[in-house]
Amino acid sequence: MAWRSSGASNVDLVNNLRRHGVFSSERVKEAMVTVRRAPSSEILCKHQTLSYSRSCLQLTQINLQVDRAHYCPSFPYDDSPKPIGHGATISAPHMHASACESLLPYLNPGAKVLDIGSGSGYLTHVLAELVKPGGKVVGIEHIQELVDLAEKNMAKSKEGKEFLESGTVLFVKGDGRKGYPSEAPYDAIHVGAAAAEHHKALTDQLKAPGR
């Protein structure tokens, strides 16, 4: 069912994921719908692909309804993973939704979260929405270009920019298998990169209770 959840807009996509039972929480829905990444028309003009023949104003109007578009370079409302370069993908929306719902009991205002394999930065942003105010999310990624990309993606919106400037979100380059001890302990650790084995460093950096 997850693969039938694609929509014509971000709201559509999130509603379809919920309707198909991928997640049920209102909080997850709000976070996925309200992560605002719409740029100003000026920024949009700079970044729009020239193949678009629409005016900046029209593009801005379209983008105001967009969530994933600034993190996902193609078909952002499809419920499927998409390449983001460097051999990595932004995960499918149903993966993001179910990860959030599974961690939800630990994603309260003020909570600290580690997002391992932060890639595009999309999930890091949704997690930051879920732990505000007062929370912090560290996105750790082992490819520097993707650390830079996540920061660039997040800075496209006013809210994302504030998260970065206030230190609510921190993107760092590192090996996620070791966690990120300097910000530990975490209420929740999301592992978005495949792990062949259990890495004790991660459970050591998790609060009890934590997930």
Which residues contact ligand SAH by CB under 6 A? 88-91, 116-120, 122-123, 140-143, 146, 175-177, 192-193
Burial (Cβ within 10 Å: 0-12, 13-18, ≥19) of residue 180: buried
Q: Are 138 and 111 in contact (CB under 8 A)?
A: no
Given the complex with ligand SAH, which of 50 and 194 has the nearer CB atom? 194
Closest CA to 176 of 133, 125, 124, 102: 124
CA dist 76 and 192 (Å) reads 19
Pinpoint the alpha helices (H) of the chain: 10-19, 26-34, 41-47, 56-64, 93-103, 122-131, 144-154, 158-166, 200-204
Given 5, 91, 118, 157, which residue is catalytic?
91
Alpha-carbon dihedral angle through residues 120, 159, 184, 145, given to the nearest 10 degrees: 30
Is 91 in the active site?
A: yes
* Shortest Å distance, C-beta 90 to ligand SAH: 4
Given the complex with ligand SAH, which of 2 and 116 has the nearer CB atom? 116
Given the complex with ligand SAH, which of 20 and 142 has the nearer CB atom? 142
Q: Are 112 and 211 in contact (CB under 8 A)?
A: no
* Shortest Å distance, C-beta 35 to ligand SAH: 13
* Shortest Å distance, C-beta 71 to ligand SAH: 7
Given the complex with ligand SAH, which of 60 and 168 has the nearer CB atom? 168
* Shortest Å distance, C-beta 204 to ligand SAH: 17
What residues are labeled active site? 91
